[in-house]
Every structure is written in C-alpha cells, then in structure tokens.
A and B are shown apart, each in its own frame.
Chain A
Amino acid sequence: GAVVSQHPSWVICKSGTSVKIECRSLDFQATTMFWYRQFPKQSLMLMATSNEGSKATYEQGVEKDKFLINHASLTLSTLTVTSAHPEDSSFYICSAPTSGDYNEQFFGPGTRLTVL
C-alpha cells in the first residue's frame, strides 16, 4: 500500500515558538492532503484540507493564521503551528488519498506536539 510519512514524530517546544510538521507521500502523488488533530482518547478532528498549488481549506473553528498550511509539491504538505501555546499540545496526523474511485486515504504515523 501507499506510504505517508510525517516528520518529526514528536516535538517539544517553548510557548511562543513556531513548529513545522511535514507530511510526505512517499510513493504516490497527492494533490490533496488532510490534517487532523487528535486529543487524548478522542477521535480525529479534521482541521484542514491542503491543496497543492492553492490555499488550504480550513474547517469551521480552525484558526488559519494559527495553523499555517503549505502544499508546495505533489508529495509534501507542511503544517506550521505559529506562536504555540500549551493548549496546542496534541497529536497531529496527516493523510493523503490515492487516486481512484474511492480515494482511499493513507495516514501518516502522527506527530506528538508538546508545548511547555
């Protein structure tokens, strides 16, 4: 199956700093990628849809200036958490769909962000 990687797998940062998380589709091209946030013992919450070569589409209630998304190539999307605060601490997961009738999504391994 298709492989999606994320980097870093975990990061600890100080409050007020910015953190960039990368999501890569390793063996297929993805014009669209999805970014999710997952709180402990909860389901995945879709934050935004990343579109290659155009602006991301954010879900209602997600601050676009806080969570900057860039999809610069067909295999790379980045999520930057700007001016991070402890409440931004979470597990961030990206996914990328393959082409085809049902666009099966493949998920990255996730990034654990801890803001001190």
Chain B
Amino acid sequence: AQSVTQLGSHVSVSEGALVLLRCNYSSSVPPYLFWYVQYPNQGLQLLLKYTTGATLVKGINGFEAEFKKSETSFHLTKPSAHMSDAAEYFCAVKGRGAQKLVFGQGTRLTINP
C-alpha cells in the first residue's frame, strides 16, 4: 500500500525567504506524485505533478519539486516566499493504474512579513 508523509504540520518563513515543504512517499514502484494547495474554505488546486521523465518539475506560482527515487522524496520548494503563498499544502501519491489519491497530512505554510 502507498503512503505519504509530510514532515512538519506547520512551516513558517519570512517573506522573501526560501520555502521548503517536505514529502516522502512509500511505494513499491515509482508512483505519480502531486502537490496541491488549499486556501481557506476552498477546494484543492494542483501546483505541480510528476508522472515520468524529468525529475525536476516546475509548477504554478513559482513552485517546483524534485522527484528523488533514491530518497523516495518529492519536496516542494520556492526560492522566495510571498505573502500570498500562505495556505495549506498537500502532497499526494497515486499508483500507476490506480484511481485513488493518497494524501499526506498537510503542511500549513505561514509567511511572516
């Protein structure tokens, strides 16, 4: 069975600082990997995804993530945080051929002025 672990339920950074949200997965074969963002009282918006090919994936709003098979990780980064980045972030995994997404527990990102 697949699982996702997000290290740190709450991350706080200063505006302009590097954002690093950690995600590790467990899967017998390389799965599809996703990062979603959720603003208060809203649904989930896809930031980026890894399916195959290049391991460094660029997404919307300046975010990117790197798939590292050897570390079973898919950490999300952004070079310079903006106040509008404050939200809840979810890492998710889906097995190839599977329908269901498995979500991590989420990381709340707070941006300090």
Contact = CB atoms under 8 A, between A and B. Distances in A.
Interface of A: 1, 4, 6, 32, 34, 41-44, 46, 49, 91, 93, 95, 97, 101-110, 112
Contacts of A106: 46
Interface in B48-63: 49, 51
Contact of B51 (A32, A49, A102): A102
Interface in B65-113: 90, 94, 96, 99-101, 103-106, 108
Contacts of A4: 43
Given A43-B105, A102-B32, A102-B94, A91 B41 contact: yes
Interface residues of B, number: 21
Interface of B: 32, 36, 41-46, 49, 51, 90, 94, 96, 99-101, 103-106, 108
Given A102-B51, A102-B94, A104-B46, A46 B41 contact: no
Given A41-B108, A102-B32, A32 B99 contact: yes
Nearest to B105: A43
Q: Is the interface of A mostly helix, strand, loop or mixed?
A: strand
B42 A109 contact: yes
